[in-house]
Chains A and B, each alone.
Chain A
């Protein structure tokens, strides 16, 4: 197989895994001021993601780094064209990271309230922005011989915004299901309730997204050419329905696993439709950035392939170990007792 194709698949996998892992952290943050009724419960929320959020975010750094190393032209143009959106994303991720660390470091109502707001906003905004960005990538960016013809505001078109809303709802349910696995008692029941109540909205938006994708993008061209690919969106839909069915039976871990699969399959649906483009041009296909016209040299791709195939499995192995260590639900009593927790 050509190295560019391997890297296209890896590129898609890195983004999909990133959204699966940071997705429930975003969701937990979005629910930070919604679910908990006490400060103790807020701390429970932070402590469910405390041990893992940092490692989850590195998938984004790796996805960015992999784009840089494997498709430098795409990296250069994507990051400079989406300058303002990425800036807002950066600011959010910076604020989110320090909020977890700083919130518990001082007493005082005002201090905590400020960080509570910061956590929610800095979780909501990236979820929305990533959706808007990927919606626009699916749709194609207005680029031609003269460069980029769009602006930050032109990203906020209906299809981009719909994808943004899809990401926000998907991550909210994903986060709620995570919390229904990782908390106990009343909080757990409320988390499940939020997941169940938000799910119909997610379903409606997901259906609208799939339908609108048919008109707004060329993603389905690949599917029509290779009908076998329809398995991917079908898995997405099946997993989406699974979330609700398993939750109804009280099988929360399976429901959460379903939402993991949903996130993976939604991203895969978009990425499979893009091939061989990384960013299509909405003006003229001749200016699309493809895996062939924007990739690194075969030598660099070969080296990066070796690195990826050795180290990504190692990373996955120790991450699984860490999730196993911290598999027990977090209780309020435990958090209040342990002053070293967040």
Chain B
């Protein structure tokens, strides 16, 4: 395989691996911070135990999210040197700002939070986990503004043989990046909510620590419903933004071959890229695609055939990832609604069937989030920066195939090993349940009083 293919494989693999851990961090940091705030406000030790229990899982997950993030920054230079050289003037800035403004805050205060029990006041301790939560989400904002620029380049001119920034405000207010931010962090909150509900359901099925896990479940259910609204609302605007700025991606997402006005949506559809058509189209909702794309039932949708073959993204992965993502998103949103209602009724621990469903549903938001990235990145091909730079022109010239084969094998082995250990530890501590011994967190005197 050539350097380009290998580098793409490696970037996809390392990014998807990184994004197993990031979404949970985005959401669970907020939930943990909320739990600790409840503890500080009420003095109720159950909230402290919740903070510790979910916080421990948060930390096990957080460690891998952080260390795999370094790879992401380095890879732009290592494997995509031509890209870095060509767009560094505008793309490097949000990355550097992310490190300075957000990543420092996150990394310094996570240390304060882990080691600061008893060293600072209760309030200051709760503030430090809020700073971690805010910084994590702020990190995501800058990264997604950077990615948003690759999707919809703004605020630049082509000069001196590269893209140079001329308007930072345009980069920061890029609607593509901002919508993507809301959509992505929302999906992260879904991951965290289903993580909390899934593990709580597992314990409730075993009738262990019912009060603790009912409370956790309720918190997760509200968070998931709010997040589902966030994901759907932003998803709607996101589709409009894509239709406007990336017609090839949109056409591939819906597998539209012929340009048409008032395009309908087929619930059953089988793309046939060989023959540039769809092999099966059934159960059509009239005008639906036009409605989704432009909020106008008669709007014209550009078909893939309107674009030269070499400028079309691969249809199958884009189409199927999009369909599956929407399907899972819809399903988990409905489950969220059910979770809010059922957890407010009595005896959640006896609703066996529902609890089993919640355990099984735990991975769904994870998968949906990964699929969303497949749509975003595969759908943008053959461009690395839409309309500006092709992926094939972005790869490093100084790097050889054996080097990338070596790194790809290395990443696969190392990430595989660490991923397995991490999931094992998460499962172990999730099963173990909360710890009642709070020594070392609150002073012995306080324990006796309580």
Structural contact, A51 and B68, CB atoms closer than 8 A: no
Q: Which listed residue, B67, B69, B95, B120, touches A98 by the CB 8 Å rule?
A: B67
The B-contacting residues of A in range 54-97, CB under 8 angstroms, are 54-55, 57-58, 60-62, 64-66, 68-70, 72-73, 75-81, 83-84, 86-87, 90-91, 93-95, 97
Complex partner residue of A325 from B71, B120, B410, CB under 8 angstroms: B120
Q: Measured between C-beta atoms, what is the minimum distance from B26 to chain A in Å?
A: 18
Complex Cα spacing A91 to B263, Å: 50
Query: A76-B81, A80-B81 are known contacts. Are A64 and B74 too (CB-CB below 8 A)?
Result: yes
Q: Which of B63, B114, B166 contacts A50 (CB 8 A)?
A: B114
Contact of A69 among B88, B119, B418 (CB under 8 A): B88
**Within the assembled complex, what's the spacing in Å between the Cα atoms of A130 and B85?**
23
- A87–B410 alpha-carbon span in the complex (Å): 9
Interface size class of B (residues with CB under 8 A): 35 or more
Which residues between 70 and 84 of chain B lie within 8 Å of chain A, taking CB atoms? 70-71, 73-74, 76-79, 81-84
| Interface set, chain A 93-148, CB cutoff 8 A to B | 93-95, 97-98, 101-102, 105-106, 147-148
Closest Cβ of chain B to A134, distance in Å, is: 16
Nearest B residue to A93 via CB reads: B70
Do the beta carbons of A296 and B81 come within 8 Å of each other?
Answer: no
Tell me the chain A residues, 292-342 only, with Cβ under 8 Å from chain B.
296-297, 299-300, 303-304, 307-308, 311-312, 315, 318-319, 322, 325-326, 337-341
Q: Which of B27-35, B105-113, B272-280 makes up part of the contact surface?
A: B105-113
A58 vs B73: C-alpha distance when bound (angstroms): 12
Q: Is the beta-carbon distance between A311 and B100 smaller than 8 angstroms? A: yes
The smallest beta-carbon distance between A124 and chain B, in angstroms, is 18
B296 at the interface (CB under 8 A from A): no
B308 CB–A CB distance under 8 Å:
no
Known A-B contacts A54-B111, A94-B67, A322-B112; A68 and B100 likewise in contact (beta carbons under 8 Å) = no
Please name all residues of chain B whose beta carbon is closer than 8 Å to the beta carbon of A338 when the two chains form the complex: 439-440
The answer to whether B115 and A147 have CB atoms under 8 Å apart is no
Select B398's contact among A58, A60, A62, A83, beta carbons within 8 Å.
A83
> Dominant SS at the B interface?
helix
A-B contact count (CB 8 A): 227
Is A216 an interface residue, CB under 8 A from the partner? no
Contact of A52 with B by CB under 8 A: yes
- A260 to chain B minimum Cβ distance, whole angstroms, is 18
CB-CB nearest in chain A for B124 = A325
B63 and A102 within 8 A (CB)? yes
Q: Is B211 an interface residue (CB 8 A)?
A: no
**Given A296-B92, A303-B168, is A97 in contact with B66 using a C-beta cutoff of 8 Å?**
yes
- Distance in Å: Cβ of A133 to nearest Cβ of chain B: 13
- Minimal beta-carbon separation of A283 from chain B (angstroms): 15
1/0 per residue, CB under 8 A from A, across B347-379: the answer is 000000000000000000000000000000000
Q: Are A79 and B112 in contact (CB under 8 A)?
A: no
Chain A CB count within 10 A is highest, among B110, B399, B437, for B399
Nearest chain-A residue to B437 (Cβ)? A339
Give complex CA distance A311, B135 in Å: 14
Q: Please, how many angstroms separate the alpha-carbon atoms of A224 and B84 in the complex?
A: 36
> Are B403 and A299 in contact, with the CB atoms below 8 A?
no
Residues of A in contact (CB 8 Å), total 65
Residues of chain A within 8 A (CB-CB) of B441 are 340
- B residues in contact with A339, CB < 8 Å: 437, 439-440
**CB–CB A297/B89 < 8 A:** yes
Contacts of B93 in A (CB 8 A): 69, 300, 303-304
Complex Cα distance, B81 from A68, in Å, reads 11
A79 near B77 (CB under 8 angstroms)? yes
Residues of chain B within 8 A (CB-CB) of A259 are none
CA distance A300 to B326 in the complex (A): 38
With both beta carbons as reference points, the residue of chain B lying nearest to A97 in the complex is identified as B67
Tell me if A47 counts as interface (CB < 8 A to partner B): yes
What residues of B have a CB within 8 angstroms of the CB of A105 in the complex? 60, 425, 429
B447 CB within 8 Å of chain A: no
Interface 0/1 of B33-71, CB less than 8 Å to A:
000000000000000000010000001100110111111
Contact B440–A65 (Cβ < 8 Å): no
Are B89 and A97 in contact, with the CB atoms below 8 A? no
B84 adjacent to A75 (CB under 8 Å): yes
Residues A62 and B104 in contact, CB atoms below 8 Å apart: yes
B101 in contact (CB, < 8 A)? yes
B77 close to A78 (CB less than 8 A): yes
**Residues from 6 to 42 in A contacting B, C-beta threshold 8 Å:** none
> In the complex, are the beta carbons of B104 and A315 less than 8 A apart?
yes
Q: Contact: B82 with A325, CB < 8 Å?
A: no
The reply to whether B88 and A55 form a contact with Cβ atoms under 8 Å apart is: no
Contact with A along B86-98 (1 / 0, CB 8 A): 0111111101111
**Of A52, A62, A83, which contacts B100 at CB under 8 A?**
A62
Contact A61 B99 (CB under 8 A): yes
Cβ of B81 and Cβ of A79 under 8 Å apart? yes
Min C-beta distance of B104 to chain A, whole Å: 5
Neighbouring B residues of A70 by C-beta, 8 Å: 92, 96
User: Which residues of chain B from 369 to 399 have a CB within 8 Å of any chain A CB?
Assistant: 396-399
Tell me whether B165 and A77 are in contact (CB under 8 A).
no
Contacts of A322 in B (CB 8 A): 108, 111-112
On chain A, the residues within 8 Å of B69 by CB distance are: 61
Q: For residue A191, give the distance in angstroms from its CB to the closest CB of chain B.
A: 20
Closest Cβ–Cβ distance, residue B59 to chain A (whole Å): 7
The docked-state distance in angstroms from the alpha carbon of A319 to that of B111 is 11
Task: Return chain A residues, CB-CB under 8 Å to B440.
Answer: 337-341
The CA-CA distance from A75 to B88 in the complex, in Å, is 9
Cα–Cα, bound, A304→B101 (Å): 12
Known: A50-B114, A297-B165. A55 touches B108 (CB 8 A): yes
**Contact B114–A51 (Cβ < 8 Å):** yes
Which residues of the other chain, A, contact B52 by a CB distance below 8 angstroms? 340
Which chain B positions have C-beta within 8 A of A53? 111
Q: In whole angstroms, what is the CA distance A308 to B60 when docked? A: 32
A307-B100 in contact given A65-B92, A80-B78, A101-B59 (Cβ < 8 Å): yes
Q: Of A50, A75, A79, A83, which one neighbours B403 at CB under 8 angstroms?
A: A83
Question: Lowest 8 A-B CB distances belong to which pairs?
Answer: A72-B88, A79-B77, A69-B92, A68-B92, A65-B96, A55-B108, A338-B440, A80-B81
Given contacts A52-B108, A80-B399, 20 further A-B contacts (CB under 8 A): A54-B108, A54-B110, A55-B104, A68-B95, A70-B96, A75-B84, A76-B85, A77-B85, A87-B406, A91-B410, A102-B425, A105-B60, A299-B165, A311-B100, A312-B100, A319-B104, A337-B439, A339-B437, A340-B52, A340-B114
14 contacts between A and B (CB under 8 A): A58-B107, A68-B84, A68-B91, A69-B93, A69-B97, A76-B82, A79-B76, A80-B81, A80-B396, A84-B406, A95-B414, A307-B100, A337-B440, A341-B115
